[in-house]
Amino acid sequence: MSKIKVAINGFGTIGKRVADAVDAQDDMEIVGVTKTG
């Protein structure tokens, strides 16, 4: 089964929590992170 690809917009408090949540899932992978500001 293919993984769901996730990009995160911003890597502050919420972005880091999203990254942790995605990392905990076997069917998802982070493919990109953008920096805002």
Distance from the Cα of residue 6 to its chain's centroid = 5
pTM of the model: 0.82
Q: Residue 5 — pLDDT band, cuts 50, 70, 90?
A: very high
CA distances from 5 to 32, 37 (A): 9, 24
- Above 80 in pLDDT, residue 37? no
Q: What is the pLDDT of residues 10-24, one digit of tens each?
A: 999 999 999 999 999
Q: Is the predicted pLDDT of residue 36 greater than 90, yes or no?
A: no
- Asked if residue 28 lies in contact with residue 7, where contact means CB atoms within 8 angstroms, the answer is no
Domain that holds residue 13: 4-34
β-strand 4-9 against 28-34: which pairing, if any?
Answer: parallel
- For residue 32, what are the contacts with CB-CB under 8 A and spacing of at least 6? 7, 8
Position 1 scores a pLDDT of 81
